[in-house]
Amino acid sequence: MKKNYAILGAGMQGTAAAYDLAKFADANEIRLGDASLERARAAGRRLQGLTYREFSAHQVNALDSESLDAFLTGVDVLLSCVPYWMHPGIAVRAVANGVNMCDLGGNTDVTWKTLALNELARAAEVSLVPDCGLAPGLVNSLGLYLIESLDECRSVKLYCGVLPQHPVPPFNYKLTFNVEGLVTEYDYRAIALRHGEITELETLSDLEHLDLPGLGQMEAFVTSGGTSTAPYTFAGKLEEYEYKTIRFPGHCERMKIFKDFGFWGEDPVDVKGVSVRPKDVFCRVFGESLARIQDADQCIIRGVAKGTREGKPAELTVDIRDQEDPMTGFTAMERTTGFSISIVAQAIAKGTVPSGAIRYENAMRGKEFASELQRRNIRFAEHWEST
């Protein structure tokens, strides 16, 4: 039976997710909901031009139960593509309406709030799967793929970065998502599994250099959120599980200046008689400056796993490089994020994801997810080494 899908948030990632559903889900209905009805309609018009099918547009207040409940009537799977802090409240209404849900995540503390709805979701026989974007999300599926490819795995290291194809100094970066989300990644705590123990890491630390195909020397450093719940899931099974962000050389040092000198502070300060939060000023000024950079993007992902294969020590490296698609206009960020949440939503619709609030890494097998990515021309390059 064909399913009804609803997407909450008709921005960049939500629009890409709707496109993917239209291409691969054999959906009965795809609803686009947004606080702005015109934004939802504009996304629908764009998608109709790309897919030759109808998308219904709805004005929805995600923070109002009545508005949200009306939007969810008759829906089988909801894809929440709104700011991360809204997800748990939306999940409560999804469960109340008997609607399955996945979200883009972005903050692990918030994800735990969604996962706390496990018993309610199980009783309602619905699935809630948070963190279905890029990182967390796709990169963690790559981690599963690595684990499944080895006979025995002891270490997984994941790297990801969405970057401009033609970097402009001094930051050599293009803003591809909400600037507050970027600051969260750079400033909040990071969780990793090291020496078999859950470990809290300082962000913008542990700088290392990577030689990446087509790019040459790049840098990678600790950021928050990318591992999400996986270190807790794999504790006792792996020795290492960690995540770092990829950037052009020098980016980390420059961003660390803002962190060290308090530009991301959340406590108000007085500036000429006006009370402001440094973080708000930074996001406004820095975010708008980065948003003016016009350039096609690229998504770079690397996963490295160590363990054994056929009884011998082995190391597997997988590289992914995706670029903006000129045919559809979808950026690499939209493709790797929006398509990823759509893949999980379709797995939920097929009934292969158990009921309850499910940690992302327990929702789908890595090889199944990888197969779906390759159907969308997001391809893996594998390299094995004996160690």
Q: Measured in Å, how far apart are the chain's first and last C-alpha atoms?
A: 49
pLDDT of 174 strictly over 90: no
Same domain? 30 vs 60? yes
Considering the entire predicted model, what is its pTM?
0.94
Same domain? 284 vs 341? no
What CATH number has the domain bearing residue 190?
3.30.360.10
Coil vs helix vs strand at 171: coil
Q: Per the structure, how many domains does the chain have? A: 2
Give the integer Cα–Cα distance in Å for 263 and 359: 33
What tokens appear for 199 in the block? 């470990």
Same domain? 328 vs 219? yes
Instruction: Summarize the chain as % helix, strand, coil (round to 5).
Output: 40, 30, 35
Same domain? 188 vs 295? yes
Give the integer Cα–Cα distance in Å for 382 and 308: 16
Residue-wise pLDDT tens digits, 80-112: 999 889 999 999 999 999 999 999 998 899 999
Residue-wise pLDDT tens digits, 44-83: 999 999 999 999 999 999 999 999 999 999 999 999 999 8
Average predicted confidence (pLDDT) for the chain: 95
Give the integer Cα–Cα distance in Å for 57 and 8: 10
Q: What is the CA radius of gyration of the chain?
A: 20
Same domain? 186 vs 95? no
Give the integer Cα–Cα distance in Å for 94 and 90: 6
pLDDT at 133: 95
Pair type for strands 381-386 and 152-164: unpaired
pLDDT at 176: 74
Same domain? 102 vs 176? no
Give the integer Cα–Cα distance in Å for 375 and 387: 32
Same domain? 376 vs 315? yes
Same domain? 128 vs 159? no
pLDDT at 121: 98
Same domain? 21 vs 120? yes
Give the DSSP per-residue string, 261-276: TTTT--S-EEETTEEE
Same domain? 42 vs 108? yes
Name the nearest CA neighbour of 56 among 82, 18, 99, 86. 18
Q: What is the DSSP letter of 158?
A: E
What tokens appear for 27 in the block? 């959906």
pLDDT at 106: 80
Map tokens 């609030």 to a residue: 357
Instruction: Name residue 81's amino acid.
Output: C
Alpha carbon 265 to its chain centroid, in Å, reads 25
pLDDT of 24 strictly over 90: yes
pLDDT at 65: 95
Percent of the chain with pLDDT strictly greater than 70? 100
Q: What's phi and psi for 215, nearest 5 deg?
A: -125, -30
Same domain? 228 vs 377? yes
What CATH number has the domain bearing residue 121?
3.40.50.720
Indicate left, alpha or beta for 281 from its phi (over 0: left) and psi (-120 to 50: alpha). Answer: alpha
Q: Which residues contact 373 (CB under 8 A, 6 or more apart)?
A: 138, 339, 340, 343, 379, 380
Residue-wise pLDDT tens digits, 254-268: 999 999 999 999 999
Give the integer Cα–Cα distance in Å for 357 and 361: 12
Same domain? 37 vs 154? no
Its domain, for residue 170, covers 138-332+370-386
